[in-house]
Amino acid sequence: MVGSGVKLIPAIITAIIILFLTRYAAQFLEQLVKKLTTKTVRSQSLQLLIAKLSHIGVWVVGVVLACVITFPGLRLGDVIATLGLSSVAIGFAFQDIFKNFLAGILLLLQEPFQINDQVVIGEYEGTVEQIDIRTTQMLTYQGERILIPNATVFTSAVQVRTAFAYRRTDLGVGVDYNTSLRQASQLLKETISQVEGVLENPEIEIDLVSFGDSSIDFIVRYWTKPRQKLVRHVQTRAIVAIKEAFDQADINIPYPIRTLYFYNQDQYNDYMPTPNSDGRSEDALRL
């Protein structure tokens, strides 16, 4: 056994060298594929998928070659047969990893969203930084990095906020009941159309939606570019512009109004017997 072990030392050293070379070869090939696909493939997700698959392919070849050199009696066919027999056990042991791996490939191929898209996945919202083989990396608006398993992303409802060139904002505003609704509607439309960042097309819409407790309520619908930061800035400018325009036109945005009634509890008792038409209570009539 010692003699056989000594004979295997050169093969083991060679296998270790092959694994080190495989590491650098995989990194080099991945960088090379990224450069080539950047020029030939338009989809950034597909570029990432091809680069990752090339990286994994080099590692598979390197590991198989190292095994064959370490154990000379082991043929390539035996390695493939062994992998086939152990695939069931590996599948059960690493089912979550394989599930995320396959989901990552499908996400990269189907491209429901792309890198730098702003999305909402479950309770998380932010910008997609990277789609790996196992996880999707998201940068939230609060500056936090979220790693979501690809299987979760693939089976969840995903809201892509930057899927199109523009995005609508619905802004509610109320006026008191003494206001001319036609005048207020026209003023709102003119004011919003002059706000920086509001698009002319699609058209601005001013809708009356309800009679509130203390106001008649409008919904101002306007369109902007889809990035979250721009949407927030335009909404702030729109609120300031509406308030200034209403102040100049003497249109009031009313406060909620509540009416309170005070009673003397000695005179008003919910549990007192109800008097009949002749002044006597129903209890007295029963007696």
Instruction: Map the chain to HEC letters.
Output: CHHHHHHHHHHHHHHHHHHHHHHHHHHHHHHHHHHHHHHHCCCHHHHHHHHHHHHHHHHHHHHHHHHHHHCCCCCHHHHHHHHHHHHHHHHHHCHHHHHHHHHHHHHHHHCCCCCCCEEEECCEEEEEEEECCCEEEEEECCCCEEEEEHHHHHHCCEEECCCCCCEEEEEEEEECCCCCHHHHHHHHHHHHHCCCCCCCCCCCEEEEEEECCCCEEEEEEEEECCCHHHHHHHHHHHHHHHHHHHHHCCCCCCCCCCCCCCCCCCCCCCCCCCECCCCCEHHHHHC
Say yes or no to pLDDT of 284 above 60. no
Q: Which of 74-83, 88-97, 107-116, 200-209 has the highest mean pLDDT?
A: 200-209
Residue pointed to by tokens 């299987």: 151
- The predicted-structure confidence for 96-131, as pLDDT tens digits, reads as follows 777 887 888 788 778 888 889 999 998 999 999 988
The reply to whether the predicted model has a pTM over 0.75 is no
Report residue 138 as tokens: 């998201």
More confident residue, 188 or 58: 188
Highest CATH level, class, for 164-287: alpha beta
**Given this model, what pLDDT does residue 146 score?**
94
Report residue 271 as tokens: 């549990």
Is residue 175 within 8 Å of residue 184, measured between CB atoms? yes
- The predicted-structure confidence for 173-202, as pLDDT tens digits, reads as follows 999 988 999 999 999 999 999 999 999 999
**Given this model, what pLDDT does residue 68 score?**
73
| Start and end residues for every CATH 2.30.30.60 domain found in the chain | 113-160
For the segment(s) 113-160, the CATH number from 3.50.50.60, 3.40.50.720, 2.30.30.60, 3.30.565.10 is 2.30.30.60
**Is the omega angle on the peptide bond into residue 202 within 30 degrees of 0, that is, cis?**
yes
- Which segment of 13-27, 171-185, 196-210, 269-283 scores lowest on mean pLDDT? 269-283
**Mean confidence (pLDDT) of the chain:** 81
| Residue 241, burial from CB neighbour count under 10 angstroms (0-12, 13-18, 19+) | middle
More confident residue, 115 or 86: 115
More confident residue, 219 or 78: 219
Q: Kindly list the distances between the CA atom of residue 223 and the CA atoms of 16, 139, 141, in Å, as whole numbers in the listed order.
A: 60, 25, 21
Report residue 72 as tokens: 């000379």
Say yes or no to pLDDT of 44 above 80. no
Confidence band, pLDDT 50/70/90 cuts, at residue 45? low
Is residue 94 within 8 Å of residue 105, measured between CB atoms? no
Say yes or no to pLDDT of 1 above 70. no
> Does the domain at residues 2-93 carry the CATH identifier 1.10.287?
yes
